[in-house]
């Protein structure tokens, strides 16, 4: 089964994150506000180590940075800057960590958890992991930064990419290949088809090289020349890391058209919040299986269950269920 495309957290990307001064300043403010003198801090997904260094400067007693990749990078930066004391790095998958992995095995007072990827299909699991880390590794009443992740949904007409057009072009390839090679290459076409919508979720290529500072990462959005918004932004889910337990995404999202148009899919807005203020806002996109004509005032309900999680494709909820769908398939 194809999976949602994770972001390759290479040194290149960490450099781009550091150069994103807007995001850097937001997280610097949030971490500095959250640290109290003497705190034991866990920096989950430390990357370049930036948040660990900020926590240390803000007065943390000890900081442990954990990442499954490139921990040598954070270590070298720490050594380079004479920050060895009170700071350590562990290369591990966060999911595998127990309190006994740490010395001393004592609960953390502050959990820094910037492990989200601008993809709701991956980040639902990342939020579940943040709850698990909080409950497994932190002291009672520990603070988590970001404090919450909020998702909103906006119906739109996306013009720079269309699922149906790409599928139609893909269908053509089998005939072209048969003509050229006398062989049936349908399996490769099918494999490409399966992951199609999953690969078209993000507005920008995460590995695009942009070195001139400042790059903007605190607000990654689709260019408005490529999308026409047809509904307001509807609340979909908020994962509040102060809540007693993790609840996943709801099984459906409800939208109300504010203008007439051809609704091709949904833009998800993901906000990492600290004290209610967005630190990092990103958009991603899920296409409808088939576009729908809407007029102002139309209401529709889209299923956000297993099919959406597996394919990134949305369908209107079958008729007969509560919440009438007044839209018209095109
Ligand atoms: C968005 S980057 C954040 C880097 C840094 N904390 C910052 O804010 O600049 C997310 C980091 O989390 C790491 N990460 C994600 N999931 C992880 C896991 N399950 N175990 C360990 N590291 C993980 C990635 O390798 C990546 O370096």
Please tell me the distance from the alpha carbon of residue 35 to that of residue 41, in angstroms, as a whole number: 8
Q: Whose CA is closest to atom 10 on ligand 1?
A: 115
pLDDT, residue 324, reads 46
pLDDT in tens, 247-261: 999 999 999 999 999
pLDDT in tens, 181-237: 999 999 999 989 888 999 889 887 766 666 776 666 667 899 999 999 999 999 999
Per-position DSSP letters for 233-253, written without gaps between them: -EEEEEEETTSSS-----SEE
Residue 189 CB contacts under 8 Å (≥ 6 apart), including other chains: 170, 171, 173, 174
Q: Which two tokens stand for residue 87?
A: 């700071």
pLDDT, residue 217, reads 66
Per the CB < 8 A criterion, the answer to whether 200 and 161 are in contact is yes
Atom of ligand 1 minimally distant from the CA of 13:
2
Question: Residue 224 CB: number of other CB atoms within 10 A?
Answer: 9
Please tell me the distance from the alpha carbon of residue 54 to that of residue 151, in angstroms, as a whole number: 27
pLDDT band at residue 3 under the 50/70/90 scheme: confident
Per the CB < 8 A criterion, the answer to whether 211 and 13 are in contact is no
Residue with tokens 């958009």: 283
Q: Which alpha helices (DSSP H) does the chain contain, by range?
A: 11-19, 21-34, 50-57, 71-80, 120-137, 163-181, 186-194, 306-311
Q: Whose CA is closest to atom 23 on ligand 1?
A: 45
Q: Which two tokens stand for residue 226?
A: 């490529």
Q: Whose CA is closest to atom 6 on ligand 1?
A: 46
Phi, psi for residue 95 in degrees, rounded to 5: -65, -25
Q: How many angstroms separate the Cα of 305 from the Cα of each of 3, 108, 277, 316? A: 15, 35, 29, 11
Q: Which two tokens stand for residue 288?
A: 């409808």
The preferred substitution site among 68, 73, 110, 280 for testing ligand 1, maximizing ligand atoms within 8 Å of CB, is: 68
pLDDT, residue 85, reads 83
More confident residue, 290 or 3: 290
Tell how far the Cα of 94 is from the centroid of ligand 1, in angstroms: 9
Please tell me the distance from the alpha carbon of residue 253 to that of residue 263, in angstroms, as a whole number: 14
Tell how far the Cα of 111 is from the centroid of ligand 1, in angstroms: 13
pLDDT, residue 120, reads 97
pLDDT in tens, 24-83: 999 999 999 999 999 999 999 999 999 999 999 999 999 999 999 989 999 999 999 999
Atom of ligand 1 minimally distant from the CA of 27:
8
Q: Which two tokens stand for residue 22?
A: 């807007």
Q: Whose CA is closest to atom 12 on ligand 1?
A: 45
In 3-state terms, what secondary structure has residue 214? Answer: coil
Which protein residues are within 6 Å of ligand 1, measured from CB?
A: 9, 17, 27, 45-48, 50-51, 66-69, 93-95, 114-115
Q: Are strands 62-67 and 40-44 parallel, antiparallel or unpaired?
A: parallel
Please tell me the distance from the alpha carbon of residue 25 to that of residue 273, in angstroms, as a whole number: 14
Crossing angle (nearest 10°) for helices 50-57 and 21-34: 40
Residue with tokens 């300043």: 25
Whether residue 146 has a cis bond before it, omega within 30° of 0: yes
Q: Which alpha helices (DSSP H) does 99-205 contain, by range?
A: 120-137, 163-181, 186-194
Residue with tokens 């990442």: 67
Tell how far the Cα of 45 is from the centroid of ligand 1, in angstroms: 3
Per the CB < 8 A criterion, the answer to whether 211 and 19 are in contact is yes
Per the CB < 8 A criterion, the answer to whether 69 and 48 are in contact is no
Q: What is the mean pLDDT of residues 95-112?
A: 94
Q: Whose CA is closest to atom 8 on ligand 1?
A: 114
pLDDT, residue 207, reads 63
The preferred substitution site among 9, 31, 41, 45 for testing ligand 1, maximizing ligand atoms within 8 Å of CB, is: 45
pLDDT band at residue 7 under the 50/70/90 scheme: confident
Q: Whose CA is closest to atom 14 on ligand 1?
A: 45
Q: What is the mean pLDDT of residues 302-315?
A: 96
Tell how far the Cα of 129 is from the centroid of ligand 1, in angstroms: 12
Q: Which of 272, 281, 299, 283 is nearest to 227 (CA)?
A: 283
């Amino acid at each position: 089964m194809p999976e949602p495309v994770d972001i390759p957290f290479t040194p290149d990307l960490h450099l781009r994150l550091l150069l994103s001064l807007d995001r850097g300043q937001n997280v610097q403010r949030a971490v500095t506000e959250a640290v109290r003198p003497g705190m034991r801090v866990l920096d989950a997904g430390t990357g370049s180590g930036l948040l660990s260094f900020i926590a240390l400067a803000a007065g943390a007693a000890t900081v442990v940075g954990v990442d499954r990749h490139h921990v040598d990078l954070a270590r070298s930066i720490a050594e380079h800057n004479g920050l060895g004391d009170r700071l350590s790095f562990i290369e591990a998958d966060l999911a595998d960590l127990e309190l006994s992995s740490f010395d001393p095995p004592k609960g953390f007072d502050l959990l820094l958890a910037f492990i989200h990827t601008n993809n709701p299909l991956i980040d639902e699991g990342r939020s579940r992991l943040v709850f698990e880390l909080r409950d497994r590794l932190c002291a009672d009443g520990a603070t988590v930064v970001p404090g919450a992740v909020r998702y909103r949904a906006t119906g739109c007409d996306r013009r720079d990419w269309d699922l149906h057009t790409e599928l139609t072009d893909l269908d053509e390839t089998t005939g072209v290949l048969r003509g050229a090679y006398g062989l049936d290459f349908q399996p490769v076409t099918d494999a490409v088809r399966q992951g199609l919508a999953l690969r078209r979720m993000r507005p920008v290529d995460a590995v695009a090289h942009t070195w001139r500072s400042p790059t903007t990462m605190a607000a990654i959005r689709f260019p408005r020349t490529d999308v026409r918004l047809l509904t307001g932004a509807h609340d979909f889910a908020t994962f509040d890391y102060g809540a007693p337990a993790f609840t996943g995404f709801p099984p459906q999202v409800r939208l109300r058209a504010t203008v007439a148009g051809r609704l091709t899919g949904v833009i998800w807005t993901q906000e990492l919040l600290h004290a209610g203020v967005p630190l990092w806002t990103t958009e991603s996109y899920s296409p409808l299986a088939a576009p729908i004509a809407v007029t102002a005032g139309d209401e529709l309900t889209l299923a956000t269950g297993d099919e959406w999680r597996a394919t990134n494709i949305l369908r209107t909820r079958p008729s007969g269920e509560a919440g009438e769908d007044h839209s018209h398939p095109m």
